[in-house]
Amino acid sequence: MSRVFHYSPAIPVRDAIGFSTRSLYSAMLSAGLETYLVCDQDSISSAPIFTLNVEQMLALRPGSQDLIIFHHSFLDQNVDRILSLPCKKVIVYHNITPGHFFRDAGLGWLADACDEGRQRLGSMSAMFDRVVGDSEFNVSELEARGYPRGHVIPVFYDDLFFRRPFDDAEAELRSFNGSCINMAFIGRFVPNKRPDNLIRIAALVGKMSGRKTKLRLFGKLWDRTYFRTLWRLVEDLGLEDAVSFELNVPREGLKSALSSSDAFVSASEHEGFMVPLVEAFATGCPVVALASSAVVGTCGSAGLLVTEPDLEQMAARIVCIAENPDLKRSLMRVQAQRSEDFSSLKTLNKWNSLLGEFLPTSLVKHENRV
């Protein structure tokens, strides 16, 4: 019987790619397959228990009947060893951010690693039996680098959790602050996501509406120097009371913030999929976003997208949503419908169709699901 190895350099517990990798692994375990999570030794402490490191996987001698699902989103020191194995291989491309976003912000080391990772993408194009991208944007990027046309399969997100209403209605009410225009963003504090522009937008929303504003930025800290520049911008604009940076907040806190905000705002200029958009859709938080990269495909017809990085236009849309209940309601309705396209059931069906010929058993109970 074939074995399936899910390899990603890191499989952190609280991370979108980590969650998606674990979801497919769990579905395979439930289907009775022999399957393993594998990551780099340097990241093993943050991976789920029972995750193998690369050496342990190699010791199992993966052969021609086995399958490696290779998640790729950064320069990876294990690429050559893994791709030289005689087993079947599927690449899942989550995108590598172009280096210029980091170089412009003084993060040269990160920029160089990203650019090298992107450069090496082309040399791997003939190594895979199947090509998967989690968005049309990612699939097109691979195609431009010589890969065969790939399959679009979105990442798994925790749909059951984000769709489920709060168990405690009173607690939900307490999280609501009706006197403010509340905005939220979820994502790492990195230059391509443009948290600096979100801060500027918060200032504009306050001026345009004449109301208090609150922008909550939820994320992870990557570089202290860059973070300090963001905080300086907050001080320069006098927004110390209006902007908060909230680090490593548990998902219950994220859900609570989304379901009590007037808008989820994104000014990100480069995304490979952007899971928080779908989480906002599922929790009923209107989205205002810059129409960039994969954001357009993830939103589909949902959300209010702004085609140019025009901060005044974005601020105006947030004020419109906060002051127009009909617009807010219709946005939430379309978004809830869109979130259904990313349900775990549908994503698993797509994987089942793709991997059917490689696996001895189906991942879903009924194979002709939509």
Q: At 44, phi and psi to the nearest 5? A: -65, -30
| Distance from chain centroid for Cα 362 | 27
Task: Determine the interface stretch with other proteins among 65-73, 91-99, 236-244, 360-368 (rule: CB under 8 A).
Answer: 360-368
Least distance from other proteins to the Cβ atom of residue 174, Å: 8
- Is position 339 an interface residue for other proteins (rule: CB under 8 A)? yes
In the complex, minimum distance from the CB of residue 119 to other proteins, in angstroms, rounded to a whole number: 41
Laid out side by side, the sheet with 88-93 consists of: 52-53, 34-39, 3-7, 67-72, 88-93, 130-133, 151-152
Residue selected from 335, 348, 355, 359 as contacting other proteins according to rule CB under 8 A? 335
Q: Does 340 bind other proteins (CB under 8 A)?
A: yes
CB of 212 to other proteins, least distance (A): 14
- 28/302 with CB nearer other proteins: 302
151 scored as a contact of other proteins (CB under 8 A): no
Q: d(Cα 270, Cα 274) in Å, to the nearest integer?
A: 9
* 292, 117, 275, 208: CA torsion to nearest 10: -40
Contacts with 36 (C-beta within 8 Å, 6 or more apart), sequence order: 3, 4, 5, 6, 25, 51, 52, 57, 60
> Binding of other proteins at residue 227 (CB under 8 A)?
no
Q: Which of 349, 368, 351, 342 has the alpha carbon at shortest distance from 67?
A: 351
Q: Are 275 and 258 in contact (CB under 8 A)?
A: no
Among 20, 197, 213, 259, binds other proteins (CB under 8 A): 259
Per CB under 8 A, the list member of 61, 81, 207, 369 interacting with other proteins is 369
Q: Assess 358 for contact with other proteins (CB under 8 A).
A: no
Kindly tell me which of 60 and 364 has the beta carbon lying closer to other proteins.
364
Please tell me whether residue 176 binds other proteins under the rule CB under 8 A. yes
Query: CB neighbours (10 Å) of residue 215?
Result: 28
57 to 96: interface string for other proteins, x by CB under 8 A: ----------------------------------------
Using CB under 8 A as the binding rule, whether residue 166 contacts other proteins is answered as: yes
Please report whether residue 325 would count as binding other proteins according to CB under 8 A.
yes
> Considering only residues 55, 236, 329, 360, which one is a binding residue for other proteins as defined by CB under 8 A?
329
Q: Which residues bind other proteins (CB under 8 A)?
A: 163-166, 169-170, 172-173, 176, 178-179, 259, 282, 284, 325, 328-330, 332-341, 345, 365-366, 368-370
